[in-house]
């Protein structure tokens, strides 16, 4: 069946009739969308909208993450024909998922960007869908969290990262990818006591009460213990999952702006993500994929897998 479909399927990003089901389009041909889902601005009946935010005006070190959404979409074509491995259901067949395209914004008008992004996500949530965002630098999580907190109240943050991104910055208008979770906690949209940061391996004296599972603990205790600890902290609280690709060790994700050695392996990340099935996840993002430094494409591939796992986590709650 797959071979026969591959002979006729092309440009499924535009020609797909059903929002559900696999795609057997040739991985090296056709128009690109995330996992060959249909591009659509119509969210009627949609469970999850995948959307790109090609923004990297907030970086402190190496740039290039504005190209991340495009690279992640391209890498996702490698996964599109198969049900995600390790899950007892196929999220691509059981949920209505669209590629909602990218956020439009004026790259030279940075002050207007946060409000535009919040409005973009607000529209997705207002239509009854969840968002999975392809970044872009990590600042984008802050405007996104504002939209989620409007709907769900102060939310738990589950963050995979080498950095806490809670460095002190009381200027709420300042756009910086290292201070946005300080602002999120201080403005009351994130509940620090019910939040977890995983993979941390840089120094920040004040964690603002956020629970830390650093990279060393992941290595010493293993993915299952980490997943269990995450679930015990989050409980049944509404949660937003953000995955900075530098949470992985540079050996697995070299294409990022601020790489730090000693990070998670891709196998550890996969096991933890699958181990937390059942948390009350409301949405998520994968950020900081920088294609100019991703010479083999490994980082974009990792980003595509992370985004797919977020889809699976969202679908698990809808279907169980």
Mean residue pLDDT of the chain comes to 96
The tens digit of pLDDT for each residue in 123-181 reads 999 999 999 999 999 999 999 999 999 999 999 999 999 999 999 999 999 999 999 99
* Residue 315: per-residue pLDDT: 96
Write down the pLDDT at residue 4. Answer: 73
Does the pTM surpass 0.85? The reply is yes
Residue 138 in marked binding region: yes
Tokens of 281: 């996840």
Residue 82 annotated as binding site: no
Give the pLDDT of residue 1.
54
Domain ranges of the chain: 2-319
Q: Is the peptide bond before 136 cis (omega within 30 degrees of 0)?
A: yes
pLDDT at 82: 87
Low-confidence residues of the chain: pLDDT under 70: 1, 3
Tell whether 237 is in a known binding site.
Answer: no
Is 246 annotated for ligand binding?
yes
120 labeled part of a ligand binding site: no
Which listed CATH number (3.40.800.10, 3.30.1330.60, 2.60.120.10, 1.25.40.10) goes with 2-319?
3.40.800.10
Q: Tokens 């999975």: give the residue.
A: 132
Angle at the Cα of 113 from the Cα atoms of 109 and 117, rounded to 5 degrees: 155
pLDDT number for residue 194: 98
Residue 244's pLDDT is 98
Q: Is 244 annotated as a binding residue?
A: yes
Per-residue confidence (pLDDT) for residue 2, from 0 to 100: 73
């Amino acid at each position: 069946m797959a071979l026969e479909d591959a002979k006729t399927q092309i440009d499924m990003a535009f020609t797909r009739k059903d929002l559900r089901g696999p795609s057997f389009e040739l991985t090296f041909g056709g128009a690109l969308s995330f996992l060959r889902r249909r591009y659509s601005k119509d969210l009627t009946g949609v469970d999850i909208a995948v959307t790109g935010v090609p923004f990297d005006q907030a970086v402190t070190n190496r740039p290039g993450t504005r190209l991340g959404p495009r690279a992640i979409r391209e890498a996702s074509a490698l996964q599109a024909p198969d049900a995600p491995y390790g899950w007892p259901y196929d999220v691509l067949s059981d949920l209505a998922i669209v590629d909602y395209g990218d956020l439009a914004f004026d790259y030279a008008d940075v002050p207007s960007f946060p409000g535009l992004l919040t409005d973009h996500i607000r529209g997705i949530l207002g239509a009854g869908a969840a968002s999975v965002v392809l970044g872009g630098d990590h600042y984008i999580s802050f405007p996104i969290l504002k939209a989620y907190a409007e709907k769900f109240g102060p939310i738990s943050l589950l963050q995979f990262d080498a950095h806490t991104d809670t460095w002190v910055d009381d200027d709420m208008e300042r756009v910086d990818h290292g201070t946005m979770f300080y602002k999120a906690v201080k403005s009351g949209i994130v509940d620090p006591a019910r939040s977890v940061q995983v993979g941390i391996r840089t120094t920040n004296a004040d964690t603002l009460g956020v629970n830390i599972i650093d990279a060393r603990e992941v290595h010493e205790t293993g993915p299952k213990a980490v997943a269990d600890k995450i679930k015990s902290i989050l409980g049944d609280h509404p949660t937003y999952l953000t995955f900075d690709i530098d949470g992985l060790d540079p050996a697995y994700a070299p294409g990022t702006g601020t790489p730090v050695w000693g990070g998670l392996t891709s196998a550890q990340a996969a096991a933890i993500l699958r181990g937390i099935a059942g948390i009350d996840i409301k949405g998520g993002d994968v950020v900081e994929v920088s294609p100019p430094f991703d010479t083999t494409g490994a980082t974009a591939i990792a980003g595509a897998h992370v985004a797919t796992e977020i889809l699976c986590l969202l679908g698990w709650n809808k279907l169980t």
